[in-house]
Structure 1
Amino acid sequence: GVFTSNADGSLVFATAPTISSHYSQLESASWLLTSYALAQAAAQPVLAKMSDVFGRKGVLLVCYILFAVGNLVTGVGQEFWQVVAGRTLAGLGGAGMNVLVSILITDMVPKIEVAAWRSYVNVAATVARSIGGPLGGWLADTIGWRWSFIGQAPLSLLAFFIVAWKLVNPSTPLLANGESPKTRAKLGRIDYIGSILMSATIVAFILAVDMPSRGISWASPIVVSLLNTSVILGIVFVIFEQKCASEPIFPPRLLFEWNVASSYAILALQIAAQMSMMFSIPLYFQVTKGASNTEAGSYLVPAVVGNTIGGLVIKKTGKYKGLLYLATFSACSAYAILILTWHGHSSPLASLAIFPSGFGTGIAGAATFVVLTAYLPHNDIAIATGGMYLLASIGMILGLSLSSSLQGHAEKCIGCAGCDATGNPACVG
């Protein structure tokens, strides 16, 4: 499941230009990524809490079905909105396929071995991302982009049957007498109002930050209204969770824990920078070198190889504080190289410069998870892990949105023979 859902991510990076061009929606290409990430962000904390109530296995199996159906809808969609709807449904499934595996590790593995097992998950995820880009590009160039999504459905169903057959549910909630509670009692434990408020806050915020990537000004009424709405809903959510919810969907107190808040911030910022880079590089080589989908996707391999190695480093050392400093320095050095040396004439070997960014992100992803499992009591780990994946999704969307917005602005400036002193296209007005 982790392999399939992560391969899907880099696969879309490589095929998004082809898919959006097929429907004459090139300016909306980022929706193929944003819709998936938006669904993931809204669902991850909810699924983490539901797994506490209903058990990990049942929720994970439902996620496999959602992922399979979503990819089938994407593959057979005849309109662009149908493809985006399929990506959204797949995002709901992909949310659980990632977060629940990490939670299962904390259920089944001693704390001293969490770093090692997390590194194995990281290797599976990064190998999948390294394969997804070139594979998606190759399929788009040969038998068509639709099969890159349709082909994921059988893999998801295979994972469904393996989990249904082999996984022993480690978290089935029991009553004091050892019996399983009735379904009505389980449903009564779900914080419905909190779930709605949190999801609405996330959706309003993500839509606001995504609007500028579609040419809408940050100062436009719709963006300002969405940002204000997300702030108001967020305040109401925090008050409700603190004062009214018997079992909060996400306890706000966790955000006031320094180790939790700093881990969330580190991971979100690393992911934002990494996703921005990975969205831009295939487009860069397609524009400057006329690269095919397959070739453009292959330029992402150094980053995901670096991500794999970074994840293994945390396994070897078991330390995290010093490695987080190393992760920041490594990633920043890669972005500095790109900014200073990539000006439209980069050779294919220049893509090796993105290796340090993947290395840094790999360390950050593993180390922040180790921080949470080492610091928090077991009862908080599931929901804190859901929050970690939520912040990673928000970071992904911020990176994609800002990158797309800046690229669109640059294209307008090029089309107008430059920008004026205020940074606006010279031909405007």
Structure 2
Amino acid sequence: MVQRDVAGQSQLSERESLLRETAQEGSGYHACRSTSEEDGGNEVLEPVPEVDEERSLGRGETESLKEGAHMNVVKIISVMLLGIFVAQTDGSILMATHTIIASEFNALKDSSWLIISFSLAGAATQTLYGKLSDIYGRKRMVIIAYTMFMVGCAIVGVGQSMWQVVLGRIVSGAGASGMSALVSVFITDLLPLREVAQWRAYVNLVATLGRSMGGPLGGWLADVVGWRWSFLGQVPPITLAIILCSAYLPNHASTLDETDVSATQQLKMSKFSRIDFKGAFLFATLVLTLLLPIELGGVNIPWTHPLIFVLLGASAVLLALFIAVEKRQAEPILPLEIFHSKDAILSFLILGFQTAAQLGMMFAVPLYFQVTSTPRPSATVAGAHLVPAVVGNAVGGMISGSVIKRSGRYKSLVIWAVTCSSIGYLLLMLRWHGNTNWLESLYIFPGGFGMGVANSALFISLQVVIDPAHMAPAVSFMYLMQTVWATIGLPAANAIMQTVLRRNLGIRLFELGYDSTEVAEIISNAVSDVDFIDGAIEKVRNAVVQSYIDGLWWSHGFSFSCSVTALVLAVFLKQRRLDGHKSKP
């Protein structure tokens, strides 16, 4: 259906525009004139093959048309993969270098802000990209996101103080959130529903490759030419990505006469007035007040600090205000209709619990091998034990996409995925008690595999039930949920492990005959530095190691509980026919 702009000209919605331009380049779909009273005789885009009514296309011509459409979609999505790769590489580069960066500015105690600032900026801006891309166009917002990320990397690379580097991470985080979400939005615009999961699996594969390479690359650059080049080196590939996106991403032309200055100005004013500034501000503030206490609690300030309760209380108030404001908005930044569907809510929750479980495991695994292995491995070697989970994630996404494309079934995949993850976490609880051999170290594969399968299948379950007009904000919100639950999962797993570690180590030390002062000192040293194990006497070392194992057992229990909860929720998902859903070229 077309919409009327302020100048009285017919203005295509962003999704229709993308589809039309793709059709003109060989998608096999075209606009046609509706004569029904419901459509009012307006021009609509329907999935009708462009076949001359005078003659039918031969098989060779039809295949050529389909091949042209496929190649056009490949070209459009492929040019965005470079940005995905660089953005994911950036995250793991920072994990490897944040202590080196902070140490240069004598601010090691503040190194966590390099990570916190990036994630908070991304979470606060995540949902904005979806709605703004509906108003101003996908291509324009992609280029804006890439540019912000590039500028942020440059600021970090040339920063001369800690606050300048943190500022650069804030700008980069605000750009990276759009780089990730808008690729998926493009995929939903341009592809049939059965193919969406498979193409998102390709994106996930590129992202996984970036995450895998970032850590070693960042460490190597820091050792050879300095950490600054880890970020300045990202500027050229992102610049290339901006050029490629400008050249190849579809961007419809305005239907207005460019010489009509008045009409053009009216159109710009109309778009600007569609932006829900109040909702955007309230939602960004809501996300920040919710995530800040989770990021700060137990690390920068105690969980019992009054600021924690003030922020959590403020987030509850802001949530109520946000809902009240959005109900009155003609075009809300986050349409509340998204949450009218039970399956949409279930999809968000299942993905959230799976993300929290996965992040809890990713935190625990390197620490487990650092503590239990003899001789003790370096942090790099211990981190390499995460490779089976990373590989499982990529393989699971590819398999899930292929199965959905062939069968159209996604609910059974979700149930299978969370069951597989639950079994993996249960095996960690049953078998990881020290002296773990290489075969049993592969028990983390099911967790990563299940996450990869669930990620693709849940994206489809969301698409099936969401109004296409709200798809971009819904996709952005799904990405936001992953960020929020990752932020919850990591500190929750750490808090559980630390609590059990302190309690059990205290009990063991008292049994060994140490007094309360000595116990407090040993516990403080043991929880702050795993290298303490090397210098401790044998009976203390054994007590520390066993207490770590106890704490990590409960950390795995947290992941298992999250995954089982996701399994219970998955049972209530409804399988819908993908063939009955509106197809996309």
TM-score with structure 1 length normalisation?
A: 0.88
CA distance in 1, matches of 2:279, 2:488: 24
1:321-400 equivalences under 5 Å are 321-342=411-432, 345-346=435-436, 351-400=441-490
- The separation in 1 between residues aligned to 2:370 and 2:166, in whole angstroms, is 23
User: Structure 1 residues 401 and 100 mapped into 2: Cα distance closer, same or farther (>3 Å)?
Assistant: same
Instruction: Quote the residue 1:229 is aligned against.
Output: 314
- In structure 1, which of residues 198, 208, 214 is the aligned counterpart of residue 283 of structure 2? 198
Q: Which residue of 1 aligns with 2:564?
A: none
What is the CA RMSD across the aligned residues, in angstroms? 3.2
| Partners of 2:170 and 2:178 in 1: CA distance | 13
CA 1:123 to 1:17, structure 2 compared with 1: closer, same or farther past 3 Å? same
Equivalent-residue separation in structure 2 for 1:406 and 1:31 (angstroms):
22
Deviation at 1:363, TM superposition (A): 1.3
1:61 deviates by 0.5
Most deviating of 321-330 and 48-57: 321-330
Aligned equivalents of 2:448, 2:102: Cα separation in 1: 27
Q: Which residue of the other structure, out of 201, 215, 222, is the alignment partner of 1:119?
A: 201
The aligned amino acid for 1:13 is M
- Which amino acid in 2 is paired with 1:300? L
1:245 corresponds, among 318, 321, 329, to: 329
2:283 is matched by which residue type in structure 1?
Answer: M
Listed as ranges, the matches of 1:207-356 within 5 Å are 207-214=292-299, 216-242=301-327, 244-285=328-369, 291-292=377-378, 294-318=380-404, 319-342=409-432, 345-346=435-436, 351-356=441-446
Distance (Å, rounded) in 2 between the aligned partners of 1:154 and 1:220: 44
**How far is 1:193 from its partner?**
0.3
Deviation per CA, 1:120-167: give whole Å up to 9, x if none.
Answer: 212212222222233333334444433322222222111111101111
Counterparts of 1:143-158 in structure 2, within 5 Å, are 143-158=225-240
Indicate if the aligned counterparts of 1:130 and 1:305 stay in contact, CA closer than 8 A: no
Deviations 1:69-88 (A, max 9, x none): 21222233343333332222
Letter matched to residue 324 of structure 1: V
List alignment gaps of at least 5 residues for structure 2: 1-82, 511-515, 522-585
Distance 1:12 1:413, change over 3 A: farther
> Is contact 2:93-2:218 (8 Å) kept?
yes
Kept in 2: contact 1:214–1:405 (CA 8 A): no
Q: Report the Cα distance in structure 2 between the residues aligned to 1:336 and 1:199, rounded to whole angstroms.
A: 37
Of the three residues 192, 199, 219, the one matched with 1:137 is: 219
From 32, 35, 41, give the equivalent of 2:117: 35
Cα displacement string for residues 246-286 of structure 1 (whole angstroms, at most 9, x for unaligned residues): 11000123223111111111112222222233344445555
Question: Aligned partners of 2:503, 2:238: CA distance in 1, in Å?
Answer: 44
1:30-75, CA deviations, whole angstroms, 9 ceiling, x for partnerless residues? 4333222211111111111111110011111011111112122223
> Of 504, 507, 520, which aligns to 1:427?
520
Task: Kindly state the Cα deviation for residue 174 of structure 1 after the two structures are TM-superposed.
Answer: 6.2
Distance 2:109 2:398 in 1: 38
Distance 1:384 1:239, change over 3 A: same
Provide closer, same or farther for how the CA distance between residues 351 and 30 of structure 1 changes in structure 2, counting only shifts above 3 A: farther
More RCO (CA 8 Å, sep 6+):
1
The answer for the alignment partner of 2:244 in structure 1 is 162
- Secondary structure at the aligned position of 1:65 is classed as helix
Give the superposition deviation at 1:409: 5.2
2-structure distance, mates of 1:125, 1:145: 22
SS at match of 1:245: coil
The answer as to whether partners of 2:221 and 2:229 remain within 8 angstroms in 1 is yes
Shift in alpha-carbon separation, 1:201–1:355, aligned structure 2, 3 A = same
User: How does 1:395-406 map onto structure 2 within 5 Å?
Assistant: 395-406=485-496
1 CA distance for matches of 2:509 and 2:349?
A: 34
Structure 2 vs 1, CA of residues 103 and 405 (structure 1 numbering), >3 Å: closer, same or farther? same
Q: Which amino acid aligns with 2:290?
A: F
**3-state DSSP of counterpart to 1:249:** coil
Contact 2:338 2:466 in 1 (8 A): no
CA contact (8 A) 1:138 1:294 kept: no
How many angstroms apart in 2 are the aligned matches of 1:418 and 1:87? 43
Question: Which of 268-277 and 360-369 deviates more?
Answer: 268-277
2:168 is matched with 86
Which range is displaced more, 18-27 or 370-379? 18-27
Q: Deviations over 1:289-332 (max 9, x none)?
A: 65445434433322221111111122121122111112212222
Moved more, 206-215 or 357-366: 206-215
CA distance in structure 1 between the partners assigned to 2:166 and 2:502 by the alignment: 26
Map 1:22-101 onto structure 2 (within 5 A): 22-23=104-105, 25=107, 27-101=109-183
Contact 1:331 1:358 in 2 (8 A): yes
Structure 2 residue matching 1:300: 3-state secondary structure = helix
Q: Report the CA distance shift for 1:287/1:272 in structure 2 as closer, same or farther (over 3 A).
A: same
Gaps of at least 5 residues in structure 1 are none
In structure 1, what residue type is equivalent to 2:445? F
Larger radius of gyration: 2
Shift of 1:402: 2.3
Separation in 2 of the partners of 1:83 and 1:234?
31
* CA separation of 1:288 and 1:15: change in aligned 2, threshold 3 A: farther
Do the aligned partners of residues 38 and 302 (structure 1) sit closer, same or farther apart at CA in structure 2, a change above 3 Å counting?
A: same
Q: Distance in 2 between matches of 1:23 and 1:99?
A: 34
Q: Which residue of 1 aligns with 2:34?
A: none
Q: How far apart are 1:176 and its partner, in Å?
A: 13
